[in-house]
Amino acid sequence: MFSVFSPRRTGTSLLATTPNRWDWALLPIVLAVLAAVAFGAMQMSRPFIVGQPTPITLDPLELPYYLLRTILRMFLALGCALLFSFVFATLAAKYRAAEKVLIPLLDVLQSVPILGFQAIAIAPFIALFPGNLLGVECAAIFAIFTSQAWNMAFSLYQSMKTIPPELNEAARVFRLSGWQRFWRLELPFATPGLLWNMMMSMSGGWFFLVAAEAVSVANQDIKLPGIGAYIAVAIAQESGRAIFWAIGAMLAGIILYDQLFFRPLLAWADKFRFEESQGDTAQKSWLLDWGRRSAFVRAVTDRFWSQMRKALGWFGGPRTQRRAGAGQAAAPDARWGRLWDAALLLAGVAATLQFFFYVHSVVGWREVAHVAGLGLITLARVLVLIALASIVWVPISVWIGLRPAYSQKVQAVAQFLAAFPVNLMFPLVVYVLATYHLSPNVWLSPLMVFGTQWYILFNVVAGASTLPNELRLASENLGLRGWLKWKRVYLPAVFPSFVTGAITASGGSWNASIVAEYVTWGKTSLVADGLGSYIKQMTDAGDFHRIALGIGVMCVFVMLLNRFFWRRLYVLAEDRSK
C-alpha cells in the first residue's frame, strides 16, 4: 500500500550540509521566486480609500508586474481551495448525514455566478480592512477561490468514495486511525486526480479573471493591477494590440508556473499510482531532478517528512483505532438519522415557503415563468454542448493519458487553452457574427463550453494516467482490440473521472453563460436568449431582486440536473469501481 509518508533515510543537519553544484543551480530560481513573492505581497497592502482612482495602463512594459500580481492572487486562492477541499471532501465522504447537505450545497455553490459571490463579499472585506487595499485584494482572491474550489472538492470526494476494496481492507488490517487513513491512503490515492484538477482550477481562475480584478462597489469601479483588469481596459478601449500582449503574458505565466510548480508535482505524484510498476508512464520534471540531486533540498525534505511522520502520532492512538476501526465514522443511531432527515425536510419546506413569499411580493409569477423559460434554453445549450465535448474529448484524453510523453507536451497547451478567457474572443466573435449576420442564439453557444470542456479533458487524462500498467498488459495478452478494448478496459477505468469532469463542466457552463450569452466589444453588444444574459443585464441595471431571482433559478436548474442525471451516473461509477 502506498503512503505519503514512505520511509526515507534521516537527513543530516541543515547547517552541516555542504552545497553541491545543483544547489548553486537552484539558488537563482529560489531567490527570484522569493523576491517576486515578497514584492508582490508588499504591493497588496497599500493605503486605499473607496473612490480613489485605480488607473490601469495598457503599456506592455507593465505586464510583468500585472502578471506577478495576478499569479500571486491565484496561488493564494488555490491554497485556500485546497484546504477547503480537504475539509469538505472528508466530511462528505465519511459522514452520511453531512453528505446529504454538502453535496447538494456543492451543486448550489458551483452554479452561483462569480458576480453573485463578489456582490456579497466585496463590502465585508473592505470593511474588514478600512483604508487599505488589502480588503479589495481579499475580495478578488475570494472571487478567484469560488472559481477554483468546487471541482477540487468534488474530485477529492469522488476519489475517497472509489478507493479499491483491497486498499480499504489493508487499512483495516493495519488499524489506521481516521487521521492516519487520510494521509496514508485517501490523499495519496486521490493525489494524481487532485493535481490535474488543481491545474484546471488555475485555468478556471484565469477564465473569470476579468470579473475578479475589476470590482464594482458603491458605484465605483476598482481595477486591481493584474492581467484581468488589463483585459477589461483593452476591451473597453477596443485595443486589439493590448489583447495580443495580454495573450502573450498569459502564455508566459502559464508556462512559468507549469514548469516550476505543476510539472514537478505531477512527476513527484507518480509514486502514488495504484500499481506495482510504472512501466513507461512516469512523468518527468527537470526541476524535480535538480531538487533530488541537491544536497540542501534533500536535507530540507528529509527533515520535513520526518516531522510529518511524527505528526501522525499526535492523532489517533490505539483507543481511537479500536473505536474507529478503519477510520470511518461509526454508524449513527437510526433515530438521530431520522431526526436529521426531518430537520433537512423542514429546512427545505421553510426555504420553499420563503421563496414563494419573495416571488409573490417582489417580482411576480409572470417574471418567474419568463426566467424559467430562459433557464430551459440555457439547459438545452448545456446538455448539447457537454455531450458534444464528451464525444470529442474522451477518446483524445484517454489517448493522451496513456502516453505520458505526449501528456507532458500537451500539458501546458491544455492549461493555456483552459485558461484562455472567453472575453479575449469577443473581438473575433463580434466581427464574424456582425459580418455574416449570424444568430447570437446559436453561435454564441460554443463560448459557454469553451472554458469548461477542459474539465472533461483534465479529469479523463488523470483517470487514464492512473490505469495500472498490469491491466494494460493483461488486455494485450488477452488479445483485446478496438471497440472491445475500449468497452472492457478504457471506458470503465475512466468512467468515474469522466463523471467528475462532466459534473464540474456542466456547472461551469451554467456559470460561463453570463459571459457567453452577453458579448460586448466597445459599444457593440450581442445578446442571446438565456438565463446567463438575463443575470448579466440585471447586474448592469443594478436590479438586485431580479439578480437574486436569476441566480436562484439557475441554482434550482443545476440541482435538479445533478440530482436526477449526473448523480445517478456518479452512483453507477461508484458501484462499478467497487
pLDDT digits (tens, 9 = 90+) for 73-106: 999 999 999 999 999 999 998 888 888 888 888 8
Contact by Cβ (8 Å): 247, 266 = no
Answer yes or no: are the C-beta atoms of 107 and 557 closer than 8 Å: no
Q: What is the largest CA-CA distance in the chain?
A: 76
Answer whether residue 18 shows pLDDT above 60. Answer: yes
Report field, pTM of the whole predicted structure over 0.95: no
Strand partners, 220: 217
pLDDT at 313: 56
Q: Which domains does the chain have, with CATH numbers?
A: 18-45+286-311 (no CATH), 48-281+351-577 (1.10.3720.10)
The highest-confidence range among 148-152, 401-405, 572-576, by mean pLDDT, is: 148-152
pLDDT at 31 over 80: yes
Per-residue confidence (pLDDT) for residue 317, from 0 to 100: 46
Q: Is 13 exposed, middle or buried (0-12, 13-18, 19+ CB in 10 A)?
A: exposed
- ∠ Cα 183 186 190 (to 5°): 115
Q: What is the mean pLDDT of residues 31-42?
A: 91
For 538-557, the pLDDT digits (tens) are 877 777 778 888 888 888 88
Distance in angstroms between the alpha carbons of the first and the last residue of the chain: 17
> What is the percent of the chain where pLDDT is above 70?
87
Q: Which three cell numbers stand for residue 340?
A: 436529521
The residues pairing with 214 across neighbouring beta strands, listed in sequence order, are 223
CB proximity list for 567: less than 8 A, separation 6 or greater: 103
Distances (CA, A) of 319 to 91, 95, 168, 312, 313: 21, 20, 20, 15, 13
By DSSP bridging, strand 214-217 and strand 220-223 are antiparallel
Dump pLDDT digits (tens) for 188-215. 888 888 887 888 788 778 877 877 887 7
Under 8 Å CB-to-CB from 388, ≥6 apart: which residues?
A: 449
pLDDT of 101-147, one tens digit each?
888 888 778 777 776 677 677 778 888 888 888 888 888 899 899 88
Closest by alpha carbon to 409, among 259, 208, 569, 234? 259
pLDDT-derived band at 387 (thresholds 50, 70, 90) equals very high
What percentage of the chain's residues is helix, strand, coil (to nearest 5)? 75, 5, 20
Question: Mind listing the pLDDT tens digit for each residue in 342-357?
Answer: 777 787 778 777 777 7
Q: Residue 1: is its pLDDT beyond 60?
A: no
Q: Considering the chain, what is the average pLDDT of its residues?
A: 80
Identify the residue with better confidence: 543 or 27. Answer: 27
Average pLDDT, integer, range 370-374: 92
* Distance from C-alpha of 288 to C-alpha of 301, rounded to nearest angstrom: 12
> Distance between CA 430 and CA 446 in Å, rounded?
14
Task: Please state the rounded mean pLDDT for residues 254-274.
Answer: 83
pLDDT at 311: 66
Phi and psi at residue 218, in whole multiples of 5°? Answer: 50, 45
What integer is the mean pLDDT of 420-449? 80
Query: What confidence tier does 320 reach under pLDDT thresholds 50, 70, 90?
Result: very low
Return the bridge partners of 217, or none: 220
The pLDDT score that the predictor gives to residue 540 is 74
